[in-house]
Amino acid sequence: MGDPNDPAVLLIMGLGSQLLLWRDGFCEKLVAEGLRVIRYDNRDVGLSSKTKWRHSEGPLIPRMLKFWVGMPGQADYTLEDMADDAAA
Are both 3 and 41 inside the same structural domain? yes
Residue 82: which domain range? 51-88
Count of structural domains within the chain: 2
Using alpha carbons only, give the angle 30, 39, 26 rounded to the nearest 5 degrees.
Answer: 30
Does 27 have pLDDT greater than 60? Answer: yes
DSSP reduced 3-state for 65: helix
What is this structure's pTM?
0.64
DSSP reduced 3-state for 36: strand
Sorted by sequence, the CB contacts under 8 Å of residue 53 that are 6+ apart come out as 76
Nearest to 24 by CA among 2, 5, 46: 2
Q: What is the pLDDT of residues 46-81, one digit of tens each?
A: 667 666 665 555 677 777 787 788 777 677 777 788
Are both 42 and 59 inside the same structural domain? no
Are both 45 and 56 inside the same structural domain? no
Are both 37 and 70 inside the same structural domain? no
